[in-house]
């Protein structure tokens, strides 16, 4: 099928769907091509190689991530909640983004989007501690807690320890770790 019209997008979506089902490694470019009804090398023109496809996913993921964090940037605590919400609701993106061996981490689009997200995280916890040293520790703590909860949740490690939806339980964990910072 020459001139599919929307192949780049369709392959990308198929990759996301496949990643959602079985992780970012358990699918092949050829499988995605078959699903899209094109030859096994059709994606090459759009992504170069498999790493290129994963790089595109990471770049788009960091951009979406930054967007969602930006929406709540004024509330330090809600940035953490948004972090968790993003991981759960955009699982496939998240699983690629934080697995640097999968894609080209220094791709310009990736770098730009990732840096944008990072700045929002840094801004979110600004002014919560007196010294720069403590400031940095607070940022790290918040980032670690949100990221850790999200990772554990996605890996299924919490199925025995937590009941409820991710956002509710995540809020409780964030509150236990960081609530004292919020209240001053």
Partner DNA sequence: GAGCAATCTTACCAGTGACAAGATTGGAGG
Partner DNA sequence: CCTCCAATCTTGTCACTGGTAAGATTGCTC
Q: Does 49 bind DNA (CB under 7 A)?
A: yes
Q: Select the span of 8-16, 31-39, 45-53, 165-173 touching its own copies (CB under 8 A).
A: 165-173
Window 23 to 62, contacts with its own copies (CB under 8 A): 23, 25-26
Distance CA 77, CA 67 (A): 16
Window 95 to 154, contacts with its own copies (CB under 8 A): 98-101, 105, 118, 122, 129, 133-134, 136-152
Q: Does 171 bind DNA (CB under 7 A)?
A: no
Closest CB to DNA among 7 and 113? Answer: 7
* Surface-to-core class of residue 67, CB atoms within 10 Å of its CB (0-12 exposed, 13-18 middle, 19+ buried): middle
Binding residue (CB under 8 A) for its own copies from 22, 45, 74, 130:
22
Contact, 41 vs 96, CB < 8 A?
Answer: no
How far are the Cα atoms of 7, 64, 118, 177, 183 from residue 180, in angstroms, in the given order? 50, 30, 23, 8, 5
Which does residue 182 bind out of its own copies, DNA, none, counting CB within 5 to 8 angstroms by kind?
A: none
Shortest distance, position 27 Cβ to DNA, whole Å: 7
Residue 164 has, within 13 A of its CA and on its CB side, a CA count of: 10
Q: Which residues contact 114 (CB under 8 A, 6 or more apart)?
A: 62, 97
Chain positions contacting DNA, by CB under 7 A: 1-5, 7-8, 27-31, 33, 38-42, 44-46, 49-51
């Amino acid at each position: 099928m020459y001139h599919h019209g929307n192949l780049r997008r369709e392959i990308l979506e198929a990759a996301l769907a496949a990643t959602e089902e079985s992780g970012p490694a358990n699918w092949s470019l050829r499988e995605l091509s078959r699903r899209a009804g094109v030859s096994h090398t059709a994606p090459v023109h759009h992504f170069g190689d498999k790493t290129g496809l994963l790089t595109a996913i990471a770049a788009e993921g960091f951009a979406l991530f930054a967007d969602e964090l930006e929406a709540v940037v004024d509330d330090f605590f809600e940035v953490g909640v948004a972090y968790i919400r993003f991981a759960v609701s955009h699982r496939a993106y998240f699983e690629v983004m934080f697995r640097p061996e999968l894609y080209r981490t220094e791709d310009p689009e990736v770098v730009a989007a990732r840096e944008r997200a990072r700045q929002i995280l840094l801004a979110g916890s600004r002014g919560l501690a007196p010294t720069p040293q403590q400031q940095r520790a607070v940022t790290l703590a918040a980032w670690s807690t949100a990221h850790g909860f999200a990772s554990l949740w996605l890996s299924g490690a919490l199925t025995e320890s937590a009941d409820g939806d991710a956002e509710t339980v995540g809020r409780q964990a964030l509150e236990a770790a960081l609530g004292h910072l919020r209240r001053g």
